């Protein structure tokens, strides 16, 4: 479905981003894998992706760092010639109730989850508009669409991603680029493994499909949105949450 395309996936060393990178590679896309701390895991993802016969390179870049993102964009363009697809997936949590949340925890989460999306979109858009059928896919969360007690910083950042995406969808539509958002519910990754078992049990009981999501549930939608089959869909936010927000 993506033969000959080049995709940049942030936060692809682990979890949902890794699954998206491998799914894209399996479908013929060359992949640039962005990570910040997990070098070995990122290189493993690149190695697994190369196994599908595509070009795959891992790059270290803190997505919250505007100048580093500018630099890494140049490195990617040198290595791959162009970019067709950007998946802004990197994200962190620093949960706590508003009354006790520190300024540092608010800034850190917004810096990675929202400014990181701005940084990569800003620096790569000029290349993506040259693609025939450019795609930007941003990973938000049901915490951004519906709010979640204990996640004021995270919810704000993820709601910001939705507003940002709708605006960029309007700005880039004339250049043939679609911009869409995926809002996952509870997906089994390192991020949810940090939650107490009682919270996860409570979540499952509130999910109509009665299970946590898998990384492949999100990657399958990302593949569809990146493909030609989704060329008339832009500015949408689609939940992948087992019906949790019905
Ligand atoms: N899991 C869920 O239930 C769930 C639900 C809703 C939304 N989401 C969203 O889905 C996305 C992926 O989540 P996940 O569960 O797969 O998380 P995860 O397993 O914790 O992985 C997070 C990824 O983001 C990267 N990352 C973190 N900070 C970064 C930074 N400053 N610069 C560049 N990369 C950075 C990490 O790379 P390093 O290890 O190299 O630092 C890692 O590859 C996030 O945006 C998250 O908010 C997840």
Pocket flag, ligand 1, residue 17 (CB < 6 Å): yes
Active site residue 154: yes
Ligand 1 centre distance from Cα of residue 60 (Å): 14
Pocket flag, ligand 1, residue 111 (CB < 6 Å): no
The structure tokens listed for 56 are 């795959």
- Residue 246: pLDDT band by 50, 70, 90 thresholds? very high
The candidate with the shortest Cα–Cα distance to 56, out of 76, 38, 70, 74, is 76
pLDDT digits (tens, 9 = 90+) for 177-232: 999 999 999 999 999 999 999 989 999 999 999 999 999 999 999 999 999 999 99
Count CB-CB contacts under 10 A for residue 238. Answer: 15
Cβ distance 11 to 91 under 8 Å?
Answer: yes
**pLDDT for the residue 107:** 98
Rounded Cα distance between 208 and 240, Å, is 12
Helices 116-128, 66-80: crossing angle, 10 deg rounding: 30
Rounded Cα distance between 226 and 23, Å, is 11
Element holding 87 (H helix, E strand): strand 85-88
Rounded Cα distance between 64 and 72, Å, is 13
pLDDT digits (tens, 9 = 90+) for 76-123: 999 999 999 999 999 999 999 999 999 999 999 999 999 999 999 999
Rounded Cα distance between 124 and 129, Å, is 9
Please, what are the domains in the chain? 6-240 (3.40.50.720)
**pLDDT for the residue 228:** 97
């Amino acid at each position: 479905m993506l033969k000959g395309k080049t995709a940049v996936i942030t936060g692809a060393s682990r979890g949902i981003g890794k699954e998206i990178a491998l799914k894209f590679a399996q479908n013929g896309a060359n992949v640039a894998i962005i990570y910040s701390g997990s070098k070995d895991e990122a290189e493993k993802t690149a190695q697994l992706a190369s196994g599908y016969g595509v070009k795959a390179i891992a790059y270290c870049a803190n997505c919250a760092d505007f100048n580093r993102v500018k630099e890494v964009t140049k490195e990617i363009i040198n290595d791959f010639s162009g970019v067709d697809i950007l998946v802004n997936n990197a994200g962190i949590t620093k949960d706590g109730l508003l009354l006790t949340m520190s300024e540092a925890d608010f800034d850190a989460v917004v810096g990675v989850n929202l400014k990181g999306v701005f940084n990569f979109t800003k620096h790569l858009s000029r290349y993506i508009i040259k693609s025939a059928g450019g795609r930007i896919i941003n990973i938000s969360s049901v915490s951004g669409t519906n709010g979640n007690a204990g996640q004021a910083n995270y919810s704000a950042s993820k709601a910001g991603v939705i507003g940002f995406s709708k605006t960029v969808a309007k700005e880039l539509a004339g250049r043939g680029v679609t911009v869409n958002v995926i809002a996952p519910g509870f997906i089994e990754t390192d991020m949810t493994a940090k939650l107490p078992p009682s919270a996860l049990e409570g979540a499952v009981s509130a999910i109509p499909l009665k299970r946590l999501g898998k990384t492949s549930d999100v990657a399958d939608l990302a593949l569809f949105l990146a493909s030609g089959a989704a060329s008339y869909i832009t500015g949408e936010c689609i939940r992948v949450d087992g019906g949790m927000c019905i």
